[in-house]
């Protein structure tokens, strides 16, 4: 259930990115005073067009969350902090591990220190990931599953998540972490596969080109961006969530949360009115080494804590995504 956000001050880190901007639109529509801060990393999903249509009291600050001087006044006036800033590239984290450490751990700890010292009553939700479950022992994966990060990014995202939970436990911050799975929807990066392969699939389909399916049997759990945004808001609004990390999955498709990439490809073509095709490719060896195999989220704990449930079914979510990029593709190339 969504409470009133009229007059509440929300800070979104990574607010020009795919999920941060989706949240900005949602919170603004609920009446919140939204400030987005983003360093516009070229390899991520940051895009000024993502924030198109947001009017005052919305504010965009171009800056790095690791800059304590710039962040202090933003933190001091925030009631809720949606912490989505992060470097997301798995391959990039392997080639530049220290850069990933600085962005995903050091900057995050700096942010938490500011919240602790300047605004300890602010509620905070961190965008964590299912990535660090590694290759699952069982499906669906619940929060008790062993943690085995498969890459440097996974180690750092886990560290940042755990710092949020330590600050909740030891310092009493109202901090929650949501372990996101494969998210998709309007405002994701589509010019290449750096953010998500769903992005480049949609670009190809709109350009009447076949998209590439690497492997095809792997299963993933896909969450539509609006459902992710609603989950972040639900987490802020449910005080009982503080101090906990929760899985987040997507709407079930044909009775299952896990969808093979082959099924996703068929759903995408269906969402495009039956138009489009794909080529099957071998899974590249360098990606295979850090791949997590199949994944399906058990998100019953979060549903029980908040009443949240995903509302957008896979084909509908893909249909909305295609419609968005059909209208706006030029802003994303």
Is residue 14 part of the contact set for ligand NAD (CB under 6 A)?
yes
Identified binder of ligand NAD from the candidate list 12, 19, 23, 125, rule CB under 6 A: 19
- Residue 131 vs 263, nearer CB to ligand NAD: 131
Sequence-ordered strand ranges (E) for the chain: 9-13, 33-38, 59-62, 80-83, 123-129, 174-180, 182-184, 211-214, 219-220, 222-224, 245-247, 259-260, 278-281
Least distance from ligand NAD to the Cβ atom of residue 196, Å? 6
Segment lying near ligand NAD (by CB under 6 A), choices 32-40, 91-99, 164-172, 275-283: 32-40
Least distance from ligand NAD to the Cβ atom of residue 215, Å? 18
Q: Which among 69, 13, 58, 9 has a CA at the least distance from the CA of 38?
A: 13
Least distance from ligand NAD to the Cβ atom of residue 200, Å? 14
Segment lying near ligand NAD (by CB under 6 A), choices 23-31, 85-93, 114-122, 253-261: 85-93
Cα separations in angstroms, 262 against 207, 211, 296, 312, 321: 20, 12, 16, 20, 18
The Cα 235–Cα 229 span in angstroms is 10
The Cα 164–Cα 97 span in angstroms is 21
Segment lying near ligand NAD (by CB under 6 A), choices 31-39, 162-170, 229-237, 249-257: 31-39
Tokens of 158: 């886990």
The Cα 81–Cα 75 span in angstroms is 8
Cis peptide before 57 (omega within 30 of 0): yes
- Residue 43 vs 209, nearer CB to ligand NAD: 43
Sequence-ordered strand ranges (E) for 123-181: 123-129, 174-180
Counting residues that bind ligand NAD (by CB under 6 A) gives 33
Is residue 134 part of the contact set for ligand NAD (CB under 6 A)?
no
Residues 97-126 that bind ligand NAD (CB under 6 A): 103, 107
Least distance from ligand NAD to the Cβ atom of residue 231, Å? 12
Least distance from ligand NAD to the Cβ atom of residue 153, Å? 8
Cβ contact 213:281 at 8 Å? yes
Is residue 249 part of the contact set for ligand NAD (CB under 6 A)?
no
Tokens of 298: 């058990």
Residues 194-233 that bind ligand NAD (CB under 6 A): 195-196
> Helix 261-271 and helix 314-328: axis angle, to 10°?
60
Segment lying near ligand NAD (by CB under 6 A), choices 35-43, 164-172, 206-214, 273-281: 35-43
Q: Which residues contact ligand NAD (rule: CB under 6 A)? A: 13-14, 16-20, 37-41, 44-46, 64-66, 84-88, 103, 107, 127, 129, 157, 180, 182-183, 195-196
């Amino acid at each position: 259930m969504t409470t009133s956000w009229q007059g509440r001050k929300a800070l979104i880190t990574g607010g020009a990115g795919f999920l941060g901007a989706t949240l900005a639109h949602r919170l603004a529509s609920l009446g919140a005073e939204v400030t987005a801060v983003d360093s516009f990393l070229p390899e991520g999903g940051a895009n000024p067009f993502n924030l198109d249509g947001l009017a005052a009291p919305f504010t965009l600050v171009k800056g790095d969350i690791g800059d304590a001087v710039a962040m202090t006044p933003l933190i001091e006036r925030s009631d809720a902090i949606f912490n989505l800033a992060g470097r997301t590239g798995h391959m990039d984290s392997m080639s530049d591990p220290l850069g990933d450490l600085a962005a995903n751990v050091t900057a995050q700890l700096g942010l938490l220190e500011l919240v602790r010292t300047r605004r300890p009553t602010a509620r905070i939700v961190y965008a964590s990931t299912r990535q660090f479950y590694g290759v699952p022992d069982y499906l669906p994966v619940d929060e008790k599953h062993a943690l085995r990060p498969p890459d440097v990014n996974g180690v750092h995202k886990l560290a940042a998540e755990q710092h949020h939970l330590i600050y909740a436990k030891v310092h009493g911050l109202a901090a929650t972490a949501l372990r996101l799975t494969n998210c998709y929807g309007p405002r994701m990066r589509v010019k290449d596969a750096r953010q998500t392969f769903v992005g480049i699939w949609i670009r190809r389909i709109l350009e009447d080109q076949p998209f590439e399916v690497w492997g095809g049997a792997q299963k993933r759990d896909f969450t539509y961006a609006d459902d992710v945004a609603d989950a972040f808001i639900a987490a802020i609004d449910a005080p009982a969530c503080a101090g906990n990390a929760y899985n987040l999955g997507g709407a079930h498709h044909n009775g299952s949360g896990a969808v093979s990439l082959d099924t996703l490809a068929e759903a995408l073509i269906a969402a495009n009115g039956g138009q489009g095709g794909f080529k099957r490719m071998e899974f590249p060896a360098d990606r295979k080494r850090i791949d997590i195999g199949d994944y399906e989220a058990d998100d019953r704990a979060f549903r029980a804590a908040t009443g949240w449930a995903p509302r957008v079914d896979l084909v509908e979510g893909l249909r909305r995504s295609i419609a968005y990029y059909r209208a706006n593709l030029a802003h994303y190339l």
